[in-house]
Structure 1
């Protein structure tokens, strides 16, 4: 693509998308965003973004919205660690990918950047992960459908769609509404009395670095078919909890559960949620426990070498999120 062009973005109103859109506009691109409810996306319209009504779970109109676009940046996915209806993961993360990629192929989009996740690799036997690592078992539906959705994307690549995939680590930053941000909020507000799986952990990454990686992957020429792991700073769950305590000035949760007891307790709380219909206590279910116990770890040599990516400290990202809880402090 030339210095500026037309970019179609899914997931533009999400945590990463909200950081991505300004970068695209600052580079002079015309941005179209797929939005389910245009009336709730006035902030994008105010920035000059063209809103295209639609939903990745419904193929109608997707190709029309992408017509004339140079790039498709596909961020839309369903990210949570617990759903009463787990079919939502397949509808968005798998079938949604199929609808969006078919539309891109039909519209003749010149390049696609697909945003996946480190969880797509599952509990890989190759540790730390590399871009060419083998895929291992997936501990819950979110992890499983992220990988299944990637397989859909790769099939379209075989058909000739020029796709690049980025695999962010555990994304963190100010205003994070997702699982990591929810964990931080429970810790800071002292609603997390139990914690577990202290020896497992994740490679974390600042949300702004993820947004930058997407743009750089799109801008790099002749990289169709490439994959990039995004993030380099690994923290065990213990180190993460202790860092949140340090930065917030709040004490660490008082009760550390042994791993086996944590799995048993999580399964019980999950059943309790099913019986009562109430939200899972402490956000702790069998799915979230398996997520925390599995974790993932990787470096970022390829993204740093090929995309010129440099990372902000994870400490900064966590501090920025905590600062949103204490306005004026």
Structure 2
């Protein structure tokens, strides 16, 4: 059953790639939105849409419960997503302790329902392939993957203690204006700043950002989703197929040189060591963490989300095309 009554919705991460789309869908559905943002002076575009802005930081528990008080739903999107950080403590501060602060605040504020948006990386390198929602968790290749899982465990602990939670696990999110790692990868490819490729046989399940936003709003509105987890996405592309698709749509040839796996990992280790010695960021975002990410990958289907949330998915080709068209001096 869908709850179509207009709701008051608190949103963390509202200025982000997914969050900005979620806010628009909530407003279009007639809901009232309060955005918890660290810098209200940088969120004027949300205020212009009629969103109430409240200054709050998920890494600081003070004021979070007050900011959520009166909210029927909380959509928790704030997280730290990157494939390399010189100081990896930032992942734990946001993705684990930030989750703890937000869930505790939601409990104290009496929020009626929480939609927590995680990631497929939370499952690690699961022995169960392709993944399903009940798959076993495998080793995590880097700090980002590991802290996403640890943060989810915090959320599920609160769910077991009475907080009404549903958790979404999107695949690799794509779409116009992507500021994150996948978008940076595409930009390097079309600007010929990615002279080699690696881990061709690995890959990821991808999903359009608008489909994730739709899943968030539907998961919030459906009464039966409390306590459920949903993988969001269906279309898998190997890294080779992904690069080939970017090349086809952009008209820029794909890199011809393919690094052997061992050499790719060695490059990541070398660039990470060089950063420690010089302070310079790794070239082409190649680091120990990013190569382990690309080498791991994940694959899953979406039967449960399609059945329960009524989702259908935008083709990955369209998502990449929209991203390319959003680039300055786009060639696509």
TM-score interval w.r.t. the shorter chain? over 0.9
Report matched runs for 1:9-28 at 5 Å. 9-28=11-30
Alpha-carbon distance, 1:272 to partner: 1.0
Which of 253, 257, 280 does residue 255 from structure 1 map onto? 257
Alpha-carbon distance, 1:270 to partner: 1.2
Partner of 1:118: 120
Post-superposition Cα deviations, 1:124-166, rounded to whole Å, max 9, x if no partner, equal 0000000000000000000000000000000000110000000
- CA RMSD in angstroms, aligned pairs only: 0.9
Alpha-carbon distance, 1:327 to partner: 4.7
CA contact under 8 A between 2:4 and 2:221: conserved in structure 1? no
Alpha-carbon distance, 1:254 to partner: 2.9
Partner of 1:96: 98
Partner of 2:10: 8
Partner of 2:290: 288
Alpha-carbon distance, 1:265 to partner: 1.2
Which of 46, 49, 57 does residue 47 from structure 1 map onto? 49
Alpha-carbon distance, 1:60 to partner: 0.5
Post-superposition Cα deviations, 1:206-253, rounded to whole Å, max 9, x if no partner, equal 000000000011111122110000000000000000000110000111
Alpha-carbon distance, 1:328 to partner: 7.3
Partner of 1:198: 200
Partner of 1:174: 176
Which of 68, 71, 87 does residue 70 from structure 2 map onto? 68
Partner of 1:302: 304
1:178 and 1:102 map into 2 onto residues whose CA distance is 28
Which of 210, 230, 233 does residue 231 from structure 1 map onto? 233
Matched residue SS, 1:16 = helix
Alpha-carbon distance, 1:269 to partner: 1.1
1:216 and 1:199 map into 2 onto residues whose CA distance is 34
Partner of 2:190: 188
TM-score, normalization by structure 1: 0.99
How many residues align? The count is 329
Alpha-carbon distance, 1:194 to partner: 1.4
Q: Comparing 82-91 with 273-282, which one deviates more in the overlay? A: 273-282
Post-superposition Cα deviations, 1:159-191, rounded to whole Å, max 9, x if no partner, equal 100000000000010010001000000001000
2:105 and 2:147 map into 1 onto residues whose CA distance is 20
Partner of 2:40: 38
The structure 1 segments of at least 4 consecutive aligned residues displaced by more than 4 Å after TM superposition are 326-329
Post-superposition Cα deviations, 1:103-125, rounded to whole Å, max 9, x if no partner, equal 00000001000000000000000
Post-superposition Cα deviations, 1:19-47, rounded to whole Å, max 9, x if no partner, equal 11110001110000001000000000000
1:287 and 1:228 map into 2 onto residues whose CA distance is 26
Matched residue SS, 2:225 = coil
Matched residue SS, 2:224 = coil
TM-score, normalization by structure 2: 0.98
CA contact under 8 A between 2:324 and 2:330: conserved in structure 1? no
Which of 252, 267, 270 does residue 269 from structure 2 map onto? 267
